[in-house]
Structure 1
Amino acid sequence: MPATSINPFFLRKCFVILFAWLSVFLLSGNTGCGVDPTTRTFKVADVEDFSQMGWLDAYDAFHALMQKQYAFGDWKRVDWSALNNRIRPKVIIAESAAAGDDYITAILEYTRSIPDGHISWNNSIFGIIEPNIKGSYGLGMIGLDNGKVIANVITVGGPAATALIDVGSEILEWNDVAIATAAAQVSTLWRPNPASIATNELKLLEQYRALALDPVGTNSKVKYLKSDGSGPFTVTLTAVDDNRQIQTDTGLWNKVDDANPIKREILASGYGYIMLGTLESDDISQDQLFNKFKEAMEFLTNNNVPGIIIDLRGNGGGSDELAAKIAGFFYSEKTFYEYQNLYNAQTERLEIVLPSADDSYIIGWNLPLNITPQSLKYTGPVVAIVNPDSVSSAEGVAMAIKNLVNGHVVGFYGTNGSFGMTGGGAKLPLGYQISFPNGQSLNIKKEIQLDSQNGIGGIVPDVRVPRTSANMITYAKKNENDDVELNAAVAYLQSL
């Protein structure tokens, strides 16, 4: 992966960085509080380049930039002073020792401390993360609804399998600490993902994952009951390089095909299914994405399907306009979607603006983005399947579906809880770059919507798939022919 690229999975509403100046139109007198519309301008913030500064100076500049532009500092109650007091001394020590990895690790700790899935690094960060999670114990763990923690993944021939831990084994203790406590205490600093964590739900998933990943050669003591209930047994496992097998196997369900992100079919049950894998693509235009979704809707409605399932798992977001247009297939009246409260580098404050469809100018100030009904409208029940890898504008589609009288959301877990607009950014020394949101999505009351606060946010399923041992073991296999969440969505539609 190119060292200078930003991971697109977590970039939402990318149009914010595609143009430097937005033209202003006078529209129906709705131009703001007494500001002359002929002179009022909107300037997109540039990605700041601190790469040629000294390390401490670059950190100080980045910290000042975050305080100035980050859109959710107050909403998430970020204590900037406390954060700086914790991180800055580490930066000073790293620069004094010329320890580049320590320097970047300190800033990684800074960004990980802010719970927002839109705060993300370019792929160079994996060079810092990887040595700390290169080893695995050959097992993955997951929490169940009954409070137990089981091994739902076991690598053939790995350390856990050699120690006779099997799939379904209940993990009781980790290094002599009760498993629930051990999970709550483990750091997610080395999460194998460049983005921060927004919700408590995702944090716990990543903490189970973190216990199972360590530097190669690390020893951990595990107390467990086998799946047949025998035991308890205590073994010491040594982490080995498994070529990222456990990292992969413990990841969330994601069957998105980047080359063909929108797919449709009629399931054996007779229900319609659309995989909506993205709302932005480097290779497919927004018009093409919309047309592919429209074609899918036409196909399903022409076949009179009794219900439609929209699969948003693994959808990293993209265009809000596209999200609202897609929602229009299920709405009969114009409906509010959001206000876009964006950082204006000209005035150095957040302002509500509505960009044009082609992102080349501003339609007006203080105007909402609405869901506009499409000529084709589906009136049957609609179900969205989500997980924490449903990020940003994908969460907006889930929101629009959940708000329907006949709309529902299904999943083991909720969405990512990161709904802001990414447009802020900084280049750091040593080839690293960080992106962050400098815009907010507001509801009709002009309050922040969906972004997490105190670990709670996103779209919560109204139909929770039970986290039983059998379900979580099946889920971990990621077998398309035995998709637990999809099966639950079908079963729910059948129950209506």
Structure 2
Amino acid sequence: MMKKLCLPLCSVLLLAVMLFSSGTGAHALVTRSAASALKPTTSEEEASRYIAQYLLQNHYRKVPANDSLSQQVFDRFLENLDNNKTYFMAPEVEQLRREVGNRIDDEFVAGNPSAGFRIYNLFLQRAREKMNFMISSLQTTKFNLGTPETLDLERKDKPWAADRTQLYDLWRKELKYQYLNMKYAGESNKNIVSALTKSYTNRLKLLDRQKPEDAFLAYMYALTTSFDPHTSYFSPDEFENFQIDMSRSLEGIGAKLQMENEYTVVNEIIPGGPAFKSNLLKKGDKIVGVGQGGAGEMVDVIGWRINDVVKLIRGHKGTVVRLKILPASQAGKGPARIIRLVRDKVDLQEQAAQKKVIIQGGHKIGVIVIPSFYLDFEGEKQHQKNYASTSRDVSRILGELKRENVEGIIIDLRENGGGSLEEAVNVTGLFIHDGPVVQVSNSIGGKSVLRDEDSREQYDGPLAVLVNRYSASASEIFAAAIQDYGRGLIIGERTFGKGTVQTIVKLQRPFSMFVKQPDLGQLKLTIAKFYRISGGSTQHIGVIPDIVLPSMIDSDVVGEDTYSSSLPWTTISKAYYTPENDISKDDIMVLRAKFQERTSRDQAYQSYLKDLATLN
């Protein structure tokens, strides 16, 4: 019988959407013998058991652990691994379905993710086979460029290859397509073969660094997103990155890195960080070794995955890290140089709220760009003096703009995927007198109303909010509240349509907080839905702007309603609130008419509309 876990009371309520690109198998993966196949660690098995219990007991959607769930996870996992159907063959897919398709739920509840590892290991085998096929074909195949052939680049809705003959023919056509692209770009045959061989060889080298964690994360992603799109598992390393995003700070050297072939290359130096202050590390430098402290072993990181290199470079404030670099000033060819940096706290200022002032037509307008509703949860908990907070930063910026005598303010929430529920409420409170901001309802019908209790309205002047299809969750709470109160004008596109609330649950054994345990990671769990104070939901529908601007973003591809596992749209009773009506319905009608009149005479705008029509 499954033991029950109580969901910890947690003040970390999240409202954010994370957009994932398709193609989990972007890099080729290593073939392994039965003896060396990836296997789940003890910690991963334990984490799997707790994830299952929290999902089945505490998720908003009560999904039974049965064969239907198993098949859904199975299909989702295969789709994530091989979305374009270029690795698996139909017979092995059906064999896997028969052998593990209905066992996933039973094994998962028991803390046994072996079904996922079996599928993942087969994927690794096929991916390695494909890389070797491509490399071998480049050396032996003479492409008949005069023979026309057809290749389906989008194979999501196509059947799996029936056998190896079909699979190899698909790979051959894919290689020919890549060859032709480079040929038409003017490359010689020698250069084409060399470049493509190097590309596939580099992928093979990355395969050797596949770890059990990679299989476990991919499998857990398929399983958690079968409950809803925003429930997900964070490994310890991923949770560290999540905390960095929310707190806008990290402890390290202050450099952004990227992979170029086998090398870790400096892509950007963050102003104010140790690397910036030292002037020893430059954009374009290649990092080939990392050493800890003044005399620790210099570890060769050529061919390492970027996440593993970052893990070595990050560390606690005040500690020393040594980097062996190939300077960009020497075209990255050496001789190598060793530099010494002292790690420090690095503030990611580009992720904080920013202001700018626009002067047009004799009018002075302030713009506040809010990239996310960030909050340093630990800093707030520890009562730190200057912890990162969206509402604090926006409040400060409002004061600055008022002193600059702006005539109106625009809040730019475009691309803002959400963040802290608390911050969404607090930022809204800066623009209204007081009253409800959002309603939250759990799976058993319990309802709470989150309010702005402060009667002070920091800014009561003309207000507009810019949104687009990527404005989600906490952004939608703010925009919806401003719209429901009639406090300002909403301009842009229909928003993303996420209306669910998540909490972060630390995976650990119950009642053992005083005993040292392995770090099993964290679970971001959907526990509630939020509603506008008018009673409507943003789920699927989003926030409809008062003034709609055309966009290049395809709403059929981006949005909550594009997810197969998203929760349904529902409504509840409205909250009691008093509209401020700074913008009335009549005002909006007048503004729409003026907007249509002005843009009909704007040649640049009309050309933009024609370009959009061509794209569609």
TM-score category of the 2 structures, normalised to the smaller one:
0.3 to 0.5
- Say which structure is richer in helix: 2
Provide the TM-score with structure 2 as the length reference: 0.36
Give the structure, 1 or 2, with the largest relative contact order (CA under 8 Å, sep 6 or more). 1
Larger radius of gyration: 2
Provide the TM-score with structure 1 as the length reference: 0.44
- Say which structure is richer in strand: 1
